[in-house]
Amino acid sequence: MGYTDKNMEKIEELGNRKWDDNAIKARINGFLSGGIPKKRLNKKELLAHKEEILDRVQLRAEEYNYIFKNCAQGTAMALMEEFGLGDMQVIKALTLFPGIGGSGEMCGGVTGSIIAFGLFYGGDDPFELEKVGPAMEIAQRFMAYFEDEIGYLLCSDIQERVIFGKNMDPGASAANMGAFASAKGFEKCGLPPGSGARLAAEFMIDRFPGYL
Angle 202-208-211 from CA coordinates, rounded to 5°? 130
Q: What does the pLDDT read at residue 44?
A: 95
Per-residue pLDDT of the chain (212 residues; tens, 9 = 90+): 456 789 999 999 999 999 999 999 999 999 999 999 999 999 999 999 999 999 999 999 999 999 999 999 999 999 999 999 999 999 999 999 999 999 999 999 999 999 999 999 998 888 888 889 999 999 999 999 999 999 999 999 999 999 999 999 999 999 999 999 999 999 999 999 999 999 999 999 999 876 44
The answer to whether residues 120 and 69 touch, using CB atoms and an 8 Å cutoff, is no
Nearest Cα to Cα of residue 163 among 74, 71, 30, 89: 71
Q: What does the pLDDT read at residue 4?
A: 79
Q: Which residues lie across from 154 on neighbouring strands? A: 106
Q: What does the pLDDT read at residue 212?
A: 44
Percent of the chain with pLDDT over 70: 97
Strands, E assignment, 121-182: none
Nearest Cα to Cα of residue 7 among 117, 149, 187: 149
**Residue 49 CB contacts under 8 Å (≥ 6 apart), including other chains:** none
Three-state DSSP class for residue 38:
coil
Three-state DSSP class for residue 154:
strand
Q: What does the pLDDT read at residue 114?
A: 98
Q: Tell me how far apart the alpha carbons of residues 122 and 108 are, in angstroms, rounded to a whole number.
A: 20
The answer to whether residues 115 and 76 touch, using CB atoms and an 8 Å cutoff, is yes
The answer to whether residues 167 and 104 touch, using CB atoms and an 8 Å cutoff, is yes
Three-state DSSP class for residue 106:
strand
- Per residue in 95-132, pLDDT (tens digit) is 999 999 999 999 999 999 999 999 999 988 888 888 89
The answer to whether residues 87 and 135 touch, using CB atoms and an 8 Å cutoff, is no
Q: Tell me how far apart the alpha carbons of residues 84 and 62 are, in angstroms, rounded to a whole number.
A: 18
Q: Tell me how far apart the alpha carbons of residues 178 and 208 are, in angstroms, rounded to a whole number.
A: 42
